[in-house]
A and B are shown apart, each in its own frame.
Chain A
Amino acid sequence: MSEKAMAPRDQGAPDYTQYLHPLMAKNYGKWDYHERLRPGVLVHVAENGDKLYTVRAGSPRTMSADTVRKVCDIADKYCEGFVRFTTRANIEFLLGDASQLDGLINTVEKDLGWPVGGTGPSVSNIAHTQGWLHCNLPGTDAAGSVKAMMDDLIEEFKTESFPNRVHLSTSCCQINCASHGDISVIVQHHHPPRINHDNMQICELPKVVAICPAAAIRPAVVNGNESVEVVQEKCMYCGACHGQCPSMEIRDAQTDTLSIWVGGKMSNARSAPTFMKLAVWGIPNNPPRWPEVSAAIRRILTAYKEGAKDWERVGEWIERIGWQRFFEKTGFPFTKYHIDDSPEALSNLNRSAMVRL
């Protein structure tokens, strides 16, 4: 081991200026407008008329060093070596020469095998997390379910056929690393944690007790050892304790299910940002391809595409037509579990006499 005992060097964020495509550096802060030339291809025009082309492609996010080198070879050949990545794990190849576009697109799609698209009113790449590949908490996989879903949605990625953009996300526990999306998949547990009393770390006890949002955990002596107990009626199976303490196992391969949430929106355009809301629950966690998830997403997307007005995001469309219509149009059952029972619950009831009949 290198016992050089690195003093913290605190170097901070990399100097991004060295990584800017020359046209970005030259026109920094001086862009005039942009156009979408075709799905996946943007041109940004600077005030002085300079044009920077962007070819956006969906990446698998998890990649081998060799794949990164293949990306580099392409960027060296076509892009003077400059690329960037997006919030949703897309890669963007940047170039100034429009005549190179076809060659670049062809190389990215054929040689690298990454689809070009994800711009404008399309279904973009799915924001996702670690899953079984590398997290300590997951009830399902992330990269694999994303691969399966995007196989199904590839045409929606490669065309711009929706009223507005659709952001998807998946999370493999209720910590929900991937956060809100227009459509979002998360894991749901159905039992309180199973406690392994033999393995309780006393030093962590106060933290475990404190983390529970339902105040369901209390210290207890079990078999003469300091441990915890869970008040079963209070527990809401969130799994927060499991994140704090591996001896509080919340997952259950037999009973865990997936649920789909809709209507999350971060942008301020037209309407204030919104959280996603429960749409479908009780979907089986079915590796390796999770077909039930893809089918449910497809139903939502079909109804959205048919029903929404231009520029309406999924949540805006549903708010306009009402949730009654959403459940009618998608065919998903509305159940008592859709009714909020959180501290915000009353404000989520229909507190008016405005009813569609």
Chain B
Amino acid sequence: MSNEDSSPGMALKTPLLNELESGPWPSFVKDLKEYSKKRPQIVQLLNQLEESYENKWNYWLGKIINVPGYGGGVIARVSEKADKYPALANFHTVRVIEPPGWVYNTAALRNLADSAERHGAGILQLHGMSGDILLLGFDDNGSMNVAEDLMNDGWDIGGSGAAMRTLQCCVGQARCEMACFDTMKTTKFITDSFIEFLHRPEFVYKFKFKLSGCGNDCGNSIVRSDMPIIGTWRGPMQVNQEKVAEFIDEKGLEYLIDNVITRCPTRCLSVRGKELKVEDSECVRCMHCINVMNKALKPGKDRGVTILVGGHRTLKIGDTMSSVLVPFMKLETDEDLENLKEFIERVWEFWNDNGMDHERIGEFIHRVGMATFLDGIGMEPDPRMILRPRTSPYIKFEELAPTRFGGEQTQNPKVWNRESEGPETAD
């Protein structure tokens, strides 16, 4: 065992934390206190946390260490109070790529628990907001050794830094009738296809994929990933009119009108007698009616995905919601997956060639403009990418800029850089 406790006699003193032991919700304090009886270093962890509670102050600093051959995955933490809490001098987190959809058997969970305990503090977090399995409390050697053990047991280290990050997806076809594509398989496919970009950061900044089997977006993709992949379908929704009639008999016509018909964002539902009519060409696949009437209604049979781009939290340009990039793509055959891979490569190439240091792809698109971005990745503009066209008439029409005074044809720069153009041209 690493992180050997050098002061095994230290007493646990946590009056403030103790207040988090009572109450009906499961208490991590109670759990860790119990566990500290056999793992004395956790006494130090809890005592330091107690000081944080007392002083409303944090005592962890970051540093950088890497498993040889890897450029990320160890989130290194050193305690400012290492003199007092020597077991916390190096107390790193190791990120481990989770099974897509967070499915486990107990052999796998026991294996993680054993590895976490053998080399570190034996604390697990299921899961980090990045999707990864987090194992806590390794010193430098412990981090290497746990990585070695985990890899021998078939796991792999998660992403951090300016890299493709660990993917995350909803349960999808494994247990959900709404799923319009195989989220787990696609997650594994993208992870494995680009694993070198996950392990060795070489992008201008981080890049996250999250996958959801339908517009309900249980994978939380649209604001939390650079490239959400969301299941959808073409053509008619599947409607079982017998079950519609049963729904009306059970819930009443009023319920149907108040909670289904009038809630459709594009007003494409109507009811005639006990029959539900769907104007399929106007349905935007929002999933609401299917959620409410999940026995009567199902996504259509010609399924695929909508790919969006650019979501991230406030830094630096303000919260950015992903927006539509590929309105529809089939994602069933191996060939479809290869197409997806090729598409991702095109997007990455243009972003990484032209993006600035620390520029998420959403910020990049904001800077250069979606039209330039589409040009750059070789995609045609599509009205489904926008809510409405522009209102500003200040436009550089490439086709309509004639040669002046016999001089050179004016050429629009490929990437319009607002910063280099100065304030008078910025809108």
Chain A residues with a Cβ under 8 A of chain B: 1-2, 4-16, 18-21, 24, 28-29, 31-34, 44, 52, 54, 58-69, 71-72, 75-76, 81-87, 89, 91, 94, 112-115, 127-129, 132-141, 143-144, 147-148, 150-151, 154, 174-180, 207, 210-213, 238, 240, 246, 251, 253, 256, 264, 266-273, 275, 285, 287-289, 309-311, 342-344
Cβ-based interface call for B87 (8 A): no
Q: A4-B148, A62-B28, A136-B58 are in contact. Are A268 and B52 (CB under 8 A)?
A: no
Q: Which residues of B contact A69 (CB under 8 A)?
A: 110, 113
Cβ-based interface call for B339 (8 A): no
Q: Which residues of B contact A86 (CB under 8 A)?
A: 102, 218
Contact of A133 among B49, B122, B313 (CB under 8 A): B49
Contact between A289 and B34 (Cβ–Cβ < 8 Å)? no
Residue from the set A8, A89, A175 with the largest chain B CB neighbour count within 10 Å: A8
Q: Closest residue of chain A to B30, judged by CB?
A: A113
Contact between A267 and B215 (Cβ–Cβ < 8 Å)? yes
Known: A12-B191, A84-B102, A151-B24. 4 other contacts (CB 8 A): A29-B173, A63-B125, A67-B31, A269-B216
Residue from the set A2, A133, A141, A213 with the largest chain B CB neighbour count within 10 Å: A133
Contact between A269 and B286 (Cβ–Cβ < 8 Å)? yes
Contact between B223 and A213 (Cβ–Cβ < 8 Å)? no
Q: A14-B155, A147-B20, A240-B315 are in contact. Are A5 and B286 (CB under 8 A)?
A: no
Q: A13-B99, A85-B127, A129-B129 are in contact. Are A310 and B259 (CB under 8 A)?
A: yes
Q: Which residues of B contact A175 (CB under 8 A)?
A: 313, 315
B contact residues, total (Cβ < 8 Å): 130
Q: How far is the CA of A19 from the CA of B343 in the complex (A)?
A: 30
Q: Which residues of B contact A240 (CB under 8 A)?
A: 315-316
Contact between B25 and A12 (Cβ–Cβ < 8 Å)? no
Q: How far is the CB of A114 from chain B (nearest CB, A)?
A: 5
Q: A175-B313, A344-B318 are in contact. Are A16 and B49 (CB under 8 A)?
A: no
Contact of A19 among B99, B147, B175 (CB under 8 A): B99
Q: A16-B101, A270-B286 are in contact. Are A343 and B217 (CB under 8 A)?
A: no
Q: Can you list 22 A-B contacts (CB < 8 A)?
A: A10-B195, A10-B196, A13-B188, A29-B173, A29-B179, A63-B123, A64-B35, A65-B114, A66-B34, A67-B31, A68-B113, A83-B106, A84-B102, A85-B102, A134-B136, A136-B77, A147-B29, A148-B23, A151-B25, A273-B222, A311-B288, A343-B317
Q: Which residues of B contact A271 (CB under 8 A)?
A: 265, 286
Contact between B31 and A11 (Cβ–Cβ < 8 Å)? no
Q: How far is the CB of B226 from chain A (nearest CB, A)?
A: 13
Q: Which residues of A contact B314 (CB under 8 A)?
A: 174, 176, 213, 238
Report the stretch among B270-278, B289-297, B376-384 that lies at the interface.
B289-297
Contact between A11 and B154 (Cβ–Cβ < 8 Å)? yes
Cβ-based interface call for B141 (8 A): yes
Q: Which residues of B contact A309 (CB under 8 A)?
A: 258
Q: How far is the CA of A143 from the CA of B28 in the complex (A)?
A: 8
Contact between A288 and B221 (Cβ–Cβ < 8 Å)? no
Q: A68-B124, A271-B265 are in contact. Are A148 and B20 (CB under 8 A)?
A: yes
Q: A268-B286, A311-B292 are in contact. Are A1 and B144 (CB under 8 A)?
A: yes
Cβ-based interface call for B151 (8 A): yes
Q: Closest residue of chain B to A340, judged by CB?
A: B318
Contact between A147 and B23 (Cβ–Cβ < 8 Å)? yes
Q: How far is the CA of A137 from the CA of B57 in the complex (A)?
A: 10
Q: How far is the CA of A284 from the CA of B24 in the complex (A)?
A: 24
Contact of B156 among A13, A84, A136, A179 (CB under 8 A): A13
Q: How far is the CA of A211 from the CA of B147 in the complex (A)?
A: 32
Q: How far is the CA of A211 from the CA of B98 in the complex (A)?
A: 30
Q: How far is the CA of A13 from the CA of B132 in the complex (A)?
A: 11
Q: How far is the CB of B69 from chain A (nearest CB, A)?
A: 4
Contact between A266 and B53 (Cβ–Cβ < 8 Å)? no
Contact of B215 among A44, A154, A269 (CB under 8 A): A269
